[in-house]
Amino acid sequence: MEKDLNVVGTRVPMLDAALKAKGAALFTDDLVLPGMLYGKILRSPVAHAKIINIDTSRAEKLPGVKGVVTGKDIPDRQYGIVPMAKDEYVLARDKVRYIGDDVAAVCAIDPEIAEEALELISVEYEELPAVFDPLEAIKDGAPVIHDGVKNNTSFFIKKEFGDVAQAFAQSDAVFEDTFYSQPVNHAPLEPHAALAQFDPLSGDLTVWSSTQIPFFLRRNLSNTLQIPESKVRVIKPKVGGGFGQKIDLFAKDFCAAWFAMQLGRPVKFLYDREEVFISTRQRHPMYITVKTGVKKDGTILAQDFRAHADGGAYNSTAPTMIALSCFFLMIPYHVPNLVYEGSHIYTNKPVGGAMRGHGIPQARFAVERQLDMIADRIGVDPAEIRIKNSIHAGEPHSAGFVINTCGFSESVAKAAEAIGWQQKRGKLPLGRGVGLAGASFPSGVSNMSHISSGAVVQLGRDGAVNVLSGAADIGQGAETVISQIVAEELGVRIEDIRITAADTGITPLDPGTFGSGVTVRAGNAARLAAISAKNKIFEFVAEKMEANVADLVARDRQIYVKGSPETGMSMPEALKAYQYADLPMPIVGRGSWMAPASEPTTLFKEDGNFAPNYSFMTQAAEVEVDLKTGKVKLLKMVTAHDCGQPINPMLVEGQLEGSVVGGMGQALYEDVIVEKGQVMNPSFLDYGFPTFLEMPQIEAIEVETDDPIGPFGAKEAGEGTQLSPAPAIVNAVYDAIGVDFMELPLTPEKILGALEKKKKE
């Protein structure tokens, strides 16, 4: 249905695009305060050990050093991004659990002296046996990484829907396959940084951090520092990419705050690239076994899904990650009977955490690969098997999801048509092939009722609009999208909007950027605040114009009666009259929005709707495999995406393009190589990810739906498109050379080995 929209749906450049293009945008490391000190972290050189003694005396005596701190000096408080999974100290107290674990911190008058001081700290370790494979870590007798955690399994979830055993018995065919997804680093261009300043008179602490979730960071700082949340202000400057890696509290945040409080001077910590790779977070490596029962025509009757996630040394987002892997097996396909067992397992390796898709890309790779394999085994077209099993809006759902809008089957058809499926699948020369894969993703989560967003909209006399939002823009354009929503609702132009966001001292509560919920959560809150402000001016104007409030329209800086744009008054005129009537200025509207949720609720224990709405997408790939070198070239990627009403089509396209490249990296290039706990490629030079030179031709196709929950019908358009590029590429490689691959990444060595093996068969 065509909507009469003026600002929403237009290709507005990001509000901060000019600042970034000129190099004038300020990131955390760009901030400098008078008298600022610089901090560095001492990290463990061993994978697993008891800390016997730490001698900091030599470091403390080094000229220019202003402070040294160890785990014994700080409050005995564990923290974690998920309350039920707190298992981490800011600085290790009794044990280190991976190479890179935070042991001590120093601050000095410059970074070089701080670095030198680290070398003067002497740590006596008693090394302990270590385990690096999750399948070994769960065995009896494996080294114990955290006391009291049986078989190193920090979190386990089992969910069952329907009668799986009976469904398998009724299946015409049952297939079981095992897959592996590798560790992937987020590799944000901006490394992690924090700057803290403390006012000893008021007791107020201000922290600038490259974070995705300022309010959660405030809570964790309050907990670990043992000071009231009201005394902690977290400000998010510009963030150069996060992708989930900047969700957690890290030692840089705490230590900057600790030293600032102890010394009364501002303190900055900046991680180098190796620290980002080793000591922050990465996508969980995962072993997955999928057993699927189908009818002869490809209808899915049942799945048995078992996942072992390598969490590394700590939990981070473990419960959420392993639960998401489960619940998103229930979409985009109708799976009437499912049993899922997921284990998050400690190893003495770098820590797994939230990364774009958060546990779902691994599961999607396994499911989408096996669907192609099943289609081949039973003689069904891979595109048709997806359309046949697609869920549809309004249908009852096995897990209790409420699907208001769903364009998945249409996305499969459109992606297949755009890639030339009928003309190319199985018909191209050896070395060329096409493949596709599908996915779905939530627009935020509704399983925790405190996940709410607030906004304030202020209308000044001159028509300028100030917006306060707690939403965290980490480069995806959240502030631009929120501004477009407010501009549309108020009937002003985007250039009239000024937005202040992600400052816990002045903006309303917001959970931050995760789960692709910003547009729906923060967008709905901003829209409600704009409506609140608009209604106040409408009530005044309606009286002046002798009209009904319900008949008024605000559009392009004008307020008029519906159908009569030639009569009425401009927004500045209305606001001036409002003020001269001795009514309070600025006009302030407030809004708060959260997805419908019961209190309390947890999908770990009960079923129910997971998100306010769900987006759906299909990616189709065309590849060329060099039979001599084994190198895969991605020629084209099509993305057909049901994201409801795009608030800003240009930003949606940017998200799609980023997802394609990210998925291409996961499929073909990226792998955090760890040997005996040591990361061997912790740099952009050695890690190996796609660059602009590897970019394929990308075609984006809009699948139109009008969601009743999202602002102006919008749904997520960020993480979901990261889920299916990798399996689409690997499925295309199968079409090109006739070899099934069950693990990522698909390196030239693996392809050459498979081709050689195929020759001998």
pTM above 0.75, yes or no: yes
Structure confidence at residue 566 as a pLDDT band (50, 70, 90) = confident
Residue 708 and residue 692 share a domain: yes
Length of the chain: 761
Whether 334 maps to a domain, the answer reads yes
Residue 476 and residue 387 share a domain: no
Residue 465 and residue 439 share a domain: no
Question: What CATH number does the domain containing 711 carry?
Answer: 3.30.365.10
- CA dist 82 and 343 (Å) reads 16
Residue 1 clears pLDDT 60, i.e. is over it? no
Inter-axis angle of helices 318-327 and 360-378, to 10 degrees? 30
Structure confidence at residue 597 as a pLDDT band (50, 70, 90) = low
CB 735, CB 25: distance < 8 Å = no
Which pLDDT score is estimated for 275? 98
Average pLDDT score over residue span 389-412: 95
Burial class of residue 227 (count of CB atoms within 10 Å of its CB; 0-12, 13-18, 19+): middle
Structure confidence at residue 84 as a pLDDT band (50, 70, 90) = confident
Whether 175 maps to a domain, the answer reads no
Q: pLDDT > 90: what percent of the chain?
A: 91
Which pLDDT score is estimated for 3? 77
Reading phi first (left if > 0) and then psi (alpha if -120 to 50, else beta), residue 516 is in left
CB 354, CB 281: distance < 8 Å = yes
Question: What CATH number does the domain containing 275 carry?
Answer: 3.90.1170.50
pLDDT digits (tens, 9 = 90+) for 188-207: 999 999 999 999 999 999 99
Residues 6+ apart with CB under 8 A from 61: none
Average pLDDT score over residue span 640-665: 95
CB 514, CB 212: distance < 8 Å = yes
Residue 461 and residue 351 share a domain: no
Residues 6+ apart with CB under 8 A from 276: 185, 187, 188, 191, 192, 245, 682
Whether 180 maps to a domain, the answer reads no
Whether 176 maps to a domain, the answer reads no
Q: What is the mean pLDDT of the chain?
A: 95
pLDDT digits (tens, 9 = 90+) for 15-26: 999 999 999 999
Whether 399 maps to a domain, the answer reads yes
Which pLDDT score is estimated for 610? 82
Pick the last residue of a domain from 594, 614, 634.
Answer: 594
Average pLDDT score over residue span 523-540: 97
Whether 157 maps to a domain, the answer reads no
**Residue whose pair of structure tokens reads 């797994």 in the numeric block:** 352
**In the Cβ-directed half-sphere of 402, how many Cα atoms lie within 13 Å?**
17
Residue 478 and residue 400 share a domain: no
Whether 118 maps to a domain, the answer reads yes
Which pLDDT score is estimated for 2? 58
Residue 294 clears pLDDT 60, i.e. is over it? yes
First to last CA, the chain: 56
Name the residue with higher pLDDT: 606 or 275.
Answer: 275
CB 591, CB 531: distance < 8 Å = yes
Considering only CA atoms, which of 688, 699, 685, 628 is closest in space to residue 664?
688
Which pLDDT score is estimated for 669? 96
Residue 105 and residue 203 share a domain: yes
Residue 612 and residue 542 share a domain: no
Residue 746 and residue 670 share a domain: yes
Phi, psi of 150 (to 5 degrees): -65, 130
Residue 621 and residue 561 share a domain: no
Which of 170-179, 353-362, 424-433, 608-617 comes out lowest in average pLDDT? Answer: 608-617
Average pLDDT score over residue span 562-583: 92
Considering only CA atoms, which of 590, 593, 648, 557 is closest in space to residue 467?
590
In single-letter form, the type of residue at position 590 comes to R
DSSP conformation letters of 707-744: -SSSGGGB---SSGGGSSHHHHHHHHHHHHHS----BS
pLDDT digits (tens, 9 = 90+) for 315-333: 999 998 998 898 889 999 9
Whether 178 maps to a domain, the answer reads no
Residue 415 and residue 351 share a domain: yes
Pick the last residue of a domain from 549, 568, 594.
Answer: 594
- CA dist 15 and 31 (Å) reads 21
Residue 694 and residue 576 share a domain: no
- CA dist 63 and 114 (Å) reads 10
Which of 120-124, 353-357, 545-549, 593-597 comes out lowest in average pLDDT? Answer: 593-597
Which pLDDT score is estimated for 604? 65
Report the run of H or E that residue 664 belongs to, with start and end: helix 649-664
Range of the domain at 259: 31-128+189-241+246-279
Pick the last residue of a domain from 279, 297, 327.
Answer: 279
Q: % helix / strand / coil in the chain, to the nearest 5?
A: 30, 25, 40
Which pLDDT score is estimated for 565? 87
Which pLDDT score is estimated for 81? 86
Inter-axis angle of helices 214-225 and 251-263, to 10 degrees? 60
Which pLDDT score is estimated for 445? 81
Q: How many structural domains is the chain composed of?
A: 3
Residue 440 and residue 299 share a domain: yes
Burial class of residue 580 (count of CB atoms within 10 Å of its CB; 0-12, 13-18, 19+): exposed
- CA dist 266 and 193 (Å) reads 13
Which pLDDT score is estimated for 450? 59
- CA dist 761 and 743 (Å) reads 21
CB 625, CB 751: distance < 8 Å = yes
- CA dist 134 and 548 (Å) reads 67
Residue 600 clears pLDDT 50, i.e. is over it? no
Residue 455 clears pLDDT 70, i.e. is over it? yes
Which pLDDT score is estimated for 704? 87
Residue 598 clears pLDDT 70, i.e. is over it? no
Phi, psi of 482 (to 5 degrees): -60, -40
